[in-house]
Amino acid sequence: MKAVIPAAGNGTRLSPATKVLPKEMFPLIDTPAIHMVVEEALSAGFDEVIVVISGVTSIIKPYLRKAFEDDKRGKIRFLVQDEPYGLGGAVLSASKAVNGEPFALLLPDEIFLGDTVAITQLIEAHYVKGASVIGASFVEEDEVSRYGMIILEPGLNRVAAFEEKPTATTSRQAMSGRYILTPGIFICLQKMKNNNHGGEISLTDALNLLLEDESIEMIELEGNRFDVGNKLGYLMANIEMGLRRPDLNGALKQYLMEVRERLIARGDEHA
Ligand code: UTP
């Protein structure tokens, strides 16, 4: 099975830096997010890791070539996004490379910190069910409008519908940037492209179309998820990683406690 990592977006939420530096190259302490997600795919054992880049994000290619040793570098392949229709277009650009097989999709602006490799958690479920599997994370009620939300069939892990950034919903399970998808998704994306009038092709809409023909399963992923494509998520991931690193943990913890004391002394009610 191959893995696809779309890294050709504009990253406007992290502008101005993203005018020249792709958000996937922003370091989490000292390691770019794209490095961590390629490492995740390689450690899950995929035969090939296809990274989709654009003119603006092309610096990812020389970086990954330098960052990985020969044995791993040989498994990383680059494609330029030739369908300018958002994330759906990036996935569609990989359809030939995936060659009619189920494939893993990892969004590099979502990272997981935990004991089990995030994408590995989906592979077994895919083989057992023979279906597409979507990774999910629990979110609070006031966060649902930021995510693609998953509505399940009652009492099952089978998806009934996906809702893109709803203002309100009964679900607390958000799509989390890790998927195993059957090639049926390319037919759905292509149909959407044919009816498209220049806008982005939404992966969520394509998944809803896929649901008309195939069942899709959901797995709640272990580990802490960070959306590093927005400012707050990026900051939080850096702090969390610092707290997990033995060389930084002590001094960082002390600094955070000092900050808290300062906020309390100032009468900050959220401290
Ligand atoms: P986003 O949906 O966050 O879009 O991408 P974006 O354009 O990068 O970011 P904002 O919203 O402008 O801040 C989710 C993932 O899909 C990739 C991105 O690189 C990111 O990893 N993507 C998005 C593409 O590969 N191509 C696209 O055309 C859009």
**Amino acid identity at 152:** L
Within 10 angstroms of residue 129's Cβ, the number of other Cβ atoms is 16
Mean pLDDT of the chain: 95
Judge whether 222 and 114 are in contact, CB under 8 Å: yes
Quick one: which atom of ligand 1 is closest to the CA of 10?
7
pLDDT band at 199 (very low <50, low <70, confident <90, very high): confident
Q: pLDDT (tens digit, 9 = 90+) per residue, 204-224?
A: 999 999 999 999 999 999 999
Which whole number is the average pLDDT over 145-165? 95
Over residues 10-60, the pLDDT tens digits come to 999 999 999 999 999 999 999 999 999 999 999 999 999 999 999 999 999
Task: For ligand 1, say whether the CB of 108 is within 6 Å of any of its atoms.
Answer: yes
- Say whether pLDDT at 271 is over 90: no
**What is the predicted pLDDT for the residue at 177?**
97
Q: What is the dihedral of CA 49, 110, 159, 4, to 10 degrees?
A: -10
CA of 10 to the centre of ligand 1 (A): 6
Give pLDDT, residue 83: 75
Return the CATH superfamily for domain 2-227: Spore Coat Polysaccharide Biosynthesis Protein SpsA; Chain A (3.90.550.10)
If one residue of 5, 10, 175 were mutated to test the ligand 1 pocket, choosing by the most ligand atoms within 8 A of its CB, it would be 10
Confidence of residue 196 (pLDDT cuts 50, 70, 90): confident
| pLDDT attached to residue 269 | 65
Would you say residue 268 has pLDDT above 90? no
Q: What is the pLDDT of residue 110?
A: 97
Task: State yes or no: pLDDT of 270 exceeds 80.
Answer: no
Looking only at the bridges linking them, the beta strands covering 48-53 and 159-164 are unpaired
- How many A from CA of 266 to the centre of ligand 1? 39
**242-270: average pLDDT:** 92
Region 225-238 average pLDDT? 97
Question: Apex CA 192: angle with CA 135 and CA 204, to 5°?
Answer: 20
The model's pLDDT over 87-133, given as tens digits with 9 standing for 90+, comes to: 999 999 999 999 899 999 999 999 999 999 999 999 999 999 999 99
Each domain of the chain, given as residue ranges in start order, spans 2-227, 230-271
C-alpha of residue 87 to centroid of ligand 1, in Å: 6
Residue 219 beta carbon below 6 angstroms from any ligand 1 atom: no
How many degrees, rounded to 5, is the angle at CA 225 between CA 224 and CA 229?
150
